[in-house]
Amino acid sequence: MDLIMPKKLSFQDFVAQDKTPMLAVSRTYESITEVVERVNQWIESEGVEVSQVETLLLSGVPASSGETSTNEAVFNVGTIFGQHQVVRVWYTSRNSV
């Protein structure tokens, strides 16, 4: 028998994936619309209860791509200051034991 535990607050970060062709000179990333589409797919597949969605603009953080649950997930928004943007989804879920 599964025991239902209290809700746990968590977050998931989504970053623009690098779409640059192999030998391209400049980098190309997903648009914010494409990132939001991935966020919606993740919410549906995970069945989480979303508390809030926010975008973060971070500077001086190394760029990566995809999705992750750490604050190091960022993508370059093309400025000379090295700023990076993250779509963060705050959600609650119930863990069963």
Q: What does the pLDDT average to over 34-52?
A: 94
First to last CA, the chain: 9
- The SS3 assignment for 51 reads strand
Q: Domain containing 88: what range?
A: 4-96
pLDDT, one tens digit per residue, over 5-16 is 677 899 999 988
Mean pLDDT of the chain: 76
Contacts of 22 (CB under 8 A, 6+ apart): none
Q: What does the pLDDT average to over 40-51?
A: 94
pLDDT, one tens digit per residue, over 81-92 is 567 788 999 999
Structural domain count of the chain: 1
